[in-house]
Amino acid sequence: MVAVLERTRNRLDRMGGVAFLAGAGMAACFAGLLPLPDLRGPNIGAFLAYFLLAGAGYISAVLYLRRGRRVSLIVIWAFAILFRGLLLLTTPTLSDDVFRYAWDGHLLNLGVNPYAHAVNSPQLDAYAIPIRELVNHNWMATPYLPAAQLLFGLVARLSPQNLLGYQLAAVILDLLAGWLVMDLLRRLGRPAAFVLIYLWNPLVVVEFAQGAHVVDALMLALIALAFWAVTRARERTPQAGAYGSLSALALAGATLTKGLPLIFAPLLVRRWGWRKSLLYAAIVGSALLAFAWGAGWGLGGELNGVGVFGALRIYLEYWNYNSGIYHWLETGLSGYSSPGPVPVEAAYLPAIRAARTLTGAALGLATLAAGWLAFRSDRSQTGNPADKDLTLLRLAAFVAGAFLLLTRVVHPWYVTLLVLYLPFLAPVEGESSAWGRFTWPGIYFSLAVGLSYLTYSDPDNFREFPFVRNLEYLPLFALLIWAGWPKLAQWLTSMLGTEMRRARIKRR
């Protein structure tokens, strides 16, 4: 009996030990979602229970990995594919964005510019299909930028009016991002198994395989490609210049999905040089110009949601959901107590503008500071190239985190951007854990943000709950303080020591 138990334990250790058991438990949780006809409404409690149980398994696997235990890449990828395969058997219900994707792709394949008319415009009646009736915010044209539109068109061509096509596309792009993360880890001398931190994250699995957020999946894949290519560009090979151009091309493509990846450009411009930086700008500008032709820019005039930036103007003017620092600034400055956004009315406009200015300035400063630190790291004569690449990716994690803390809208799938960088924060043996401690605030937030789906528990009364925001952000801030305390204490000690030395010199 003892021998049998020993053989079983050894076999389990070879397969990944606790991580293997955690993966099996997570698979059971995702399988538990299959019988649910809709993950919103009355089923939201069941969804969140399975989601958080999967999160507990995920944390167990990450802890096992962080203790230096071996987990086979075959096991990691097998479970990653299994998780996603299970959720591909469901119909997207967590979000209705997929109907907009399908409608835009339908129009593009008919030669109609998706920016030219609102979805409910009578001028589009001749192109109507059943999905048109399900598109959210149908009083405006599309908010998605040209790279996303090209993907919608491709999926619509290959799989007309079939939502599974968008789920499959999101999963393929998601797994591509995972492969690029894994290869980057190898090239930086990190354990490739750290890719588990991305591939097994329940939020990533659910938002792409179930929610079909193909825009964000495309964005993550292109961002990962941009950083992968820029690290290859430093290699002394004949292809180095081509890799640099690929990096600029990839980040341009990512910027042309949602615009957000623009915040990573300051990290890369020094490595690109002025020619590739111009290439980046030229690609973005040319693509926008091509779609603005005939539809307009939508930058001025009536807020009707028409034009390349027409819907984005409405988004930037009125959208406000599940934010942290911005929400508390807005309510504090306005004096308007609300679990959700402060009304955009004349009485509150000064406070709203002040909150937007403060958070926007803070994000701009964080982005520029990260760019300056990346510039200083790259210019340094000390340190090996792999360490500089690792610093670059960790600074990107800082920028992504700053955006999520300061933005006005935090839908759950937005947080996948931060998860992309978490594998690069984990320390290896003999390395300082200063960066590694920040893995845990990111993991916590990626799970806690799922609670915001409680907004949709009542289909007839969408609303935010104060306790949800508190559960999301207050522990997050505490974890961020815990993660940064060693560095902060070191800085304070250094400052205090300097002041004491100055005081002694004055007494002399």
In the prediction, which pLDDT does 505 show? 60
Query: Is it the case that residue 498 has pLDDT exceeding 60?
Result: no
Does residue 463 lie within any of the structural domains? yes
Phi, psi of 321 (to 5 degrees): -155, 130
In one letter, which amino acid is 205? Answer: V
Per residue in 479-488, pLDDT (tens digit) is 999 999 887 7
Listed residue (165, 184, 21, 29) closest to 98, CA to CA: 165
Distances (CA, A) of 344 to 143, 317, 349: 21, 9, 6
- One-letter amino acid at 485 equals W
Residue 4: is its pLDDT beyond 80?
A: no
Which pLDDT tens digit goes with each residue over 42-99? 999 999 999 999 999 999 999 998 887 788 999 999 999 999 999 999 999 999 999 9
Residue 467 lies in a domain: yes
What is the per-residue pLDDT for 255?
A: 98
Token representation of residue 283: 């690609």
Q: Is residue 474 in a domain?
A: yes
Q: Which of 446, 443, 427, 444 lies closest to 486, judged by CA?
A: 427
Q: Residue 14 has what pLDDT?
A: 66
Instruction: Tell me how far the alpha carbon of residue 207 is from its chain's centroid.
Output: 10
The model's confidence at residue 384, banded by pLDDT at 50, 70 and 90, is confident
pLDDT score at 239: 79
Using left for φ > 0, alpha for ψ between -120 and 50, and beta otherwise, residue 384 falls in: beta
Inform me whether the pLDDT recorded for 506 exceeds 80: no
**Mean residue pLDDT across the chain:** 91
φ, ψ (nearest 5 deg) of residue 429: -60, 130
Q: Are 442 and 55 in contact (CB under 8 A)?
A: no
Over the stretch 315-334, which tens digit does the pLDDT of each residue have? 988 899 999 999 999 999 99
Task: Provide mean pLDDT across the span 385-393.
Answer: 92
For CA atoms 149, 153, 156, 161, give the dihedral sign.
Answer: positive
Evaluate whether 416 touches 399 at the Cβ level (below 8 Å).
no
Judge whether residue 300 has pLDDT over 70.
Answer: yes
**Considering all CA atoms of the chain, what is the largest pairwise distance in Å, rounded to the nearest integer?**
89
User: Angle CA(497)–CA(499)–CA(504) in degrees, nearest 5?
Assistant: 95
Radius of gyration of the chain measured on its C-alpha atoms: 24
pLDDT at 406: 97
For the cut 80, the answer to whether the pLDDT of residue 495 exceeds it is no
What pLDDT sits at residue 67? 83
At 1 the pLDDT is: 59
> How much is the pLDDT for 381?
64
Any domain includes 11: no
Q: Indicate if the pLDDT at residue 425 is higher than 80.
A: yes
Q: Kindly state the average pLDDT of the residues 172-188.
A: 97
According to the model, what pLDDT value does residue 86 have? Answer: 98
- 126-135, pLDDT tens digit by residue? 999 999 999 9
What pLDDT, on a 0 to 100 scale, did the predictor assign at position 12?
Answer: 58
Of 228, 454, 419, 217, the residue nearest 340 (C-alpha): 454
Residue for token pair 């329940």? 202
Cα of first residue to Cα of last residue in the chain, in angstroms, is 78
Q: Does residue 297 or residue 237 have the better pLDDT?
A: 297
Written as one letter, the residue type at 229 is A
What is the reported pLDDT for 499?
A: 52
- Given this model, what pLDDT does residue 238 score? 76
pLDDT at 379: 86
Reply yes or no on whether the pLDDT at 244 is more than 90.
yes
CA distance 273 to 276: 6
DSSP state of 409: B
pLDDT of residue 241: 82
Domain that holds residue 438: 433-508
Output the pLDDT for position 434.
Answer: 74
pLDDT, tens digit, for every residue of 340-352?
999 888 889 999 9
pLDDT, mean of residues 388-406? 96
- Assess if residue 406 is contained within a domain: no
Residue 483 lies in a domain: yes
Percent of the chain residues past pLDDT 70, beyond the cut: 93
pTM of the model: 0.94
Distance CA 485, CA 487 (A): 5
pLDDT on residue 432: 66
Is the pLDDT score of 497 beyond 90? Answer: no
Q: Is residue 95 assigned to a domain? A: no
Domain count, the chain: 1
| Residue pointed to by tokens 């961020």 | 480
User: What is the 3-state secondary structure of 209-228?
Assistant: HHCCCHHHHHHHHHHHHHHH
Residue 427 tokens, joined:
């320390």
Please report the sign of the dihedral spanned by the C-alpha atoms of residue 385, residue 386, residue 387, residue 389. Answer: positive
441 within a domain of the structure (yes/no):
yes
